[in-house]
Amino acid sequence: MGTRFCIASPALPAARSIAVASSVSPLAAKPSQFDEFEGLRKKTFLHDGAVASRQFVAQTSGIKMQAGHASVVSGPSSARGSSYALAMRRRPRRNRKGAAMRGMYRETTVGPENFILPLFIHDGDDNQPISAMPGCFRLSREGLLKEVEGAYSEGIRAVVLFPKVPDNLKTSDGAECFNPDGIVPRTVRMLKEKFPELLVITDIALDPYNSDGHDGIVDKTNGKIINDETVEQLCKQALCHAAAGADIVSPSDMMDGRIGAIRDALDGAGYTDVSILSYCAKYASAYYGPFRTALDSDPRFGDKTTYQMDPANVREALIEAELDLEEGADMIMVKPGLPYLDVIKTLRENSPLPIAAYQVSGEYAMIKAAVANGWLDERKVVMESLIALRRAGADFILTYFARPASRWIAEDREAARKY
């Protein structure tokens, strides 16, 4: 085998600077040097039947550099007639050589079946644009029906509702959240009637109904968010949504013990089929800005750091996931999405439950802003972000891009049948 190798004549300038190579006269390599190279070749990334683990390649990459020049083989070996060729058995590019090849072993896919479309609703006759979320609206009843019809025809089978509640219905205990004639239960009933197969998901938290703009009830004497009394309200809210026909209730409040309490309340009332999607690792994030503007739900004082998680932490997510499992959550969520891929991956590795990622309003706004400036290609960057969330371990994704992404995916699938 050693005789097959000789040093190629025109040494590359870069290769010359490599210690081993530069000491070798191009045309007069001595047998011992070939032997040395063969030895390296066998020991390292070039060895027969190599199953080169990443670690192995990393460990030997120094050797690879040194051997790089010596591995240049002679003889016309390329179509262009160049005599420059590397003796490498492992060429990862072979697996990327065409669309058919790449398609055959692609590890991650995403489709409309993985999407939940978040929808803003209000009690008005117009669709009101949301300034920091171009393409999203606070939808009227008619607007909502049209939107859902469109989404349904594109393959989307799940929506989550976020209501904009007028100020005169907001109170410090958020009691409007369990009014059976409130905007959410009314909308759930309407959607379930028109689209029986659609999964209708409701958000469980007080912030849209709370005059303090917090997810829980505020103790006026010290500004603290009262955990247990809030949970009592959340149970009533979940029961109200279940009675209206919600398929999944989704507590986004981050109070302690709410999953177990809501499960018990639902079961006690006979709603054993209503699922709970828990906002498990929900971070105190600045990426929620556009959403709060959309619902006018900014906290009136302070911030949400005593209940939402510190962006610096991941171990807390494990505690939340463990509690959610014990307390009866059917699925868990990480929120926001792209800045928290490590959290998704950690929970994927540690929880058996299906995992959702929420690509939140701020993530949407950033992409839209860059696209509006001509700085990013919307289709490509959106699809890349969705694939990244799935690759990290998300089973499904709440995304404001659900509709355009579903259309692009349908186009891609169609094109894949034709090339």
Ligand X SMILES: NCc1[nH]cc(CCC(=O)O)c1CC(=O)O
Interface with ligand X, residue 176, by CB under 6 A: no
413: CB partners within 8 A, 6+ apart: none
Minimum distance between the CB of residue 375 and ligand X, rounded to whole angstroms? 22
Task: Work out how close the CB of 123 gets to ligand X at its nearest, in angstroms, rounded to a whole number.
Answer: 19
Residue span binding ligand X (CB under 6 A) among the ranges 104-112, 163-171, 173-181, 201-209: 201-209
Reading phi first (left if > 0) and then psi (alpha if -120 to 50, else beta), residue 213 is in left
- 37 token code pair: 């190279």
CA distance linking residue 333 with residue 96, whole number of Å = 34
Is 293 among the residues that bind ligand X (CB under 6 A)?
no
Closest to ligand X by CB, 18 vs 177, is 177
Q: Determine the interface stretch with ligand X among 30-38, 141-149, 199-207, 230-238 (rule: CB under 6 A).
A: 199-207
User: Does residue 207 belong to the site contacting ligand X (CB under 6 A)?
Assistant: yes
Residue choice 21, 72, 205, 261 for contact with ligand X (CB under 6 A): 205
The CB density around residue 34, as the number of other CB atoms within 10 Å, is: 19
Query: Which C-beta is closer to ligand X: that of 7 or that of 130?
Result: 130
Min dist CB 78 to ligand X, Å, is: 52
203 binds ligand X (CB under 6 A): yes
User: What are the Cα distances from residue 123, in Å, to 135, 141, 296, 297?
Assistant: 19, 7, 14, 16
Based on CB atoms, which residue is closest to ligand X, 68 or 339? Answer: 339
335 is known as an active-site residue: yes
How many residues bind ligand X (CB under 6 A)? The answer is: 11
Q: Which of 164, 282, 304, 368 is catalytic?
A: 282
Distance (Å, whole) CA 259 – CA 251: 8
- In b/e form, how buried is each residue of 187-221, taking b as 16+ CB within 10 angstroms? bbbbbbeebeebbbbbbbbbbbbbebbbbbbbeee
Shortest CB 206 distance to ligand X, Å: 8
CA–CA distance, 206 with 175 (Å, rounded to integer) = 8
Smallest distance, ligand X to C-beta of residue 287, A? 6
CA 22 to chain centre: 49
Q: 323-327 contacts: CB < 8 A, separation 24 or more? A: 323/259, 324/259, 324/278, 324/280, 324/353, 325/351, 325/352, 325/353, 326/260, 327/257, 327/259, 327/260, 327/263
Identified catalytic residue from 335, 345, 380, 418: 335
344 to 383: interface string for ligand X, x by CB under 6 A: ----------------xx----------------------
Is there a catalytic annotation at residue 170? no
Residue 244 to residue 192: CA distance in whole angstroms: 9
- Give the residue with the Cβ less far from ligand X, 274 or 294: 294
> Given the complex with ligand X, which of 247 and 253 has the nearer CB atom?
253
- Which of 44, 252, 346, 351 is the binder for ligand X (CB under 6 A)? 252
Instruction: List the one residue from 283, 288, 307, 396 that touches ligand X (CB under 6 A).
Output: 288
**Cα separation of 338 and 398, whole Å?**
12
Considering beta carbons, is residue 154 or 253 the nearer one to ligand X? 253
292 binds ligand X (CB under 6 A): yes
State how far the Cα of 92 lies from the Cα of 71, in Å rounded to an integer. 17
Question: Which of 291, 307, 340, 396 is the binder for ligand X (CB under 6 A)?
Answer: 291
Task: Give least dist CB 252 to ligand X, A.
Answer: 4
Minimum CB–partner distance for residue 52 and ligand X (Å): 43
* Whether 225 contacts 169, CB under 8 Å: no
**By three-state DSSP, how is residue 280 classified?**
strand
| Strands in 112-247 per DSSP E | 115-121, 128-129, 137-139, 158-163, 199-204, 217-218, 225-226
CB of 193 to ligand X, least distance (A): 25
Element (H, E) at 82: none
**Beta strand ranges found along 214-330 (DSSP E):** 217-218, 225-226, 248-251, 275-282
Closer to ligand X by Cβ: residue 77 or 293: 293
In the chain, what's the furthest Cα-to-Cα distance? 91
Among the listed ranges 98-106, 236-244, 285-293, 339-347, the one in contact with ligand X (CB under 6 A) is 285-293
Asked if residue 230 binds ligand X (CB under 6 A), the reply is: no
Location of structure tokens 């393959």: 155
Segment lying near ligand X (by CB under 6 A), choices 139-147, 264-272, 287-295, 342-350: 287-295
Residues near ligand X (CB under 6 A) are 203, 205, 207, 215, 252-253, 288, 291-292, 360-361
**Residues catalogued as catalytic:** 282, 335
